[in-house]
Amino acid sequence: MIRFATINIQGDTYLDSVVPFLSNFKPDVVCFQEIVETSVPFFEKKLGMKGYFVPVTIHYAKPFDASSPVGTIGVGLFSSLPVTDVCKDYYVGGEGDIPRLVSGKLNSSVWHAILRGTIHKNNEKYVVATTHFTWTHDGSTSDKQREDLVNLLKITEKNNELILCGDFNAPRGQEIFGKLSEKYKDNIPLEYTSSLDTELHRIGKIKQLMVDGLFTTPHYKVTEAKLSEGVSDHKAVTAIISKVK
């Protein structure tokens, strides 16, 4: 089994809370969304892990603070265990220069990618993938999301077994999350109605949206799945994942 975590960390805004949380949980594998590329060596040192990164846009290191440095933002996968077969597949963009985020044109100035790798522990393999999916301003379903989901699934279906996590920007109970749940098992306990941190997310007190996911194929058993507040603007997702014999 592996100890697993995934968090949308909103650039480098919450490093002072993310690091202590992970140091206490002691994951074997952690996935990040909205990680700044320059934070990769920082997390490698602090967590004692090897990190992998795929860029999706260029923006401020603190996303809503124009006074912060500009950084390359993307998704990351870190592990203290051996990792092989690392793949970085874009389902939106991926050619030419990394786009710079433009206010009001979020989906046309952000690429979307799946970062995945095979984690090795005790002669068992865990195929882990993470992504930050296409956004809509009110959590509704868009035609762009429908199109991008088709392309995302073309990539994930290449793996017979998979642990798929990330910020899907699509609430549980609506179309996109539902289609993912039809394809893979949704392991977030139903007691959780939102993955937005009530205090730290700018709309957390206004909207309850369960947009962060932990999906698996039948090859994996997920236990102790939990969402924790006070870590980032999205709640941290943690779990114990084992192979089904």
- The answer on pLDDT for 107 being more than 80 is no
* Mean pLDDT across the chain: 95
Long-range contacts from 224-229, C-beta under 8 angstroms, 24+ separation: 225/187, 225/188, 225/189, 226/189, 227/188, 227/192, 227/195, 228/21, 229/197, 229/198, 229/199, 229/200
pTM of the entire predicted model? 0.96
Q: How confident is the model at residue 64 (pLDDT cuts 50, 70, 90)?
A: confident
- The answer on pLDDT for 90 being more than 90 is yes
Burial class (CB in 10 A: 0-12, 13-18, 19+), 240: middle
- The answer on pLDDT for 118 being more than 80 is yes
Question: Which value, in Å, is the radius of gyration of the alpha carbons in the chain?
Answer: 16
- Cα distance between residue 238 and residue 2, in whole Å: 11
- Give mean pLDDT, residues 89-97: 96
CATH number at residue 43: 3.60.10.10
* Domain with 155 in it: 2-243
- The answer on pLDDT for 34 being more than 80 is yes
Per DSSP, the residues of 146-191 read HHHHHHHHHHHTT-SS-EEEEE-SS-TTSHHHHHHHHHSEE-S-TT
**Sign, Cα dihedral of 91, 127, 28, 230:** positive
Domain count, the chain: 1
